[in-house]
Amino acid sequence: MTSSGRKLGGRFFLLFTRKTDRESSRLGITVSRKVGNSVVRNRVKRQLREFFRRQRPLLRANCDWVVIARAQAGEASVEMLRLDLGRLFAEFVRQNASDTDKKIR
């Protein structure tokens, strides 16, 4: 973990976050050919965009998010992808809360 950002890894995804000076958040998605053919890659990207669209109210306004799909993401069900993303997102929120507590004390 660097001072400028965070990296969290799950079964199907790697999640990188970094604070920025922008007022809005941005999402970057990388799904390589290792994940599968174009149909599979596009399905994974649609799931990622939909997940972050639903989480938008909980996202910090000044963060960049980058998600890299691992090769196993192409074989996973939609529910498994959502669970993995949810776990990563919850871990990020939990770590941010504990960092805020440390700064206040």
Q: How many domains does the chain have?
A: 1
CATH number at residue 61: 3.30.230.10
Please report whether residue 71 resides in a domain. yes
Please report whether residue 104 resides in a domain. no
pLDDT for position 10 = 93
Per-residue pLDDT of the chain (105 residues; tens, 9 = 90+): 345 788 999 999 999 999 888 888 889 999 999 999 999 999 999 999 999 999 887 776 788 899 999 999 999 999 999 999 999 988 887 877 666 544 444
pLDDT for position 22 = 85
Name the percent of the chain in helix, strand, coil, to the closest 5: 50, 25, 25
Tell me the whole-structure pTM to 2 decimals. Answer: 0.82
With beta carbons less than 8 A apart as the criterion, state whether 68 and 13 touch.
yes
Please report whether residue 103 resides in a domain. no
